[in-house]
Amino acid sequence: MAHEEDDASYDEARKLAEDALEAYAKGDSSKGDRLAKQARNTNPQAVQEVVNELEEDKNSDHETYAVSDGSGKAEKAAKR
C-alpha cells in the first residue's frame, strides 16, 4: 500500500510542478509559487525530476517547433 501512495504522490507532485511552470509562463508568479510549494510538499523527488528534465531539454540540440497559424502544422521556430 505504501508503494501505491508513493506513486500517487509522485504523480500529483509532477502535475502540480507542471501546472506551476504553466502559471509562471503565463506571468502568474503568485499561483506558480503556490503550486511549486505544494508540489515540493507532496513529493520533492518528483519535483526535482521535473527540474532535471527541464535542464536536459534546455541543454539539448533538438529543433524547436511551433504551431503559429492554428492549422495544426508545425513550423520550425527560430532559436533565440
Q: Which tens digit of pLDDT belongs to each residue from 57-72? A: 888 765 555 555 555 5
> What's the predicted TM-score (pTM) here?
0.67
- Distance set, CA 62 to CA 14, 19, 48, 49, 58 (Å): 23, 24, 22, 20, 9
Q: Is the pLDDT of residue 6 over 50?
A: yes
Question: Which residues on adjacent β-strands are paired with residue 65?
Answer: 76
Q: What is the dihedral of CA 15, 21, 37, 35, to 10 degrees?
A: -60
Q: Is the pLDDT of residue 80 over 50?
A: no
Q: How confident is the model at residue 24 (pLDDT cuts 50, 70, 90)?
A: very high
Which residue did the predictor score with more confidence, 41 or 61?
41
**How far, in Å, CA of 70 to CA of 17, rounded?**
27
Q: Is the pLDDT of residue 34 over 80?
A: yes
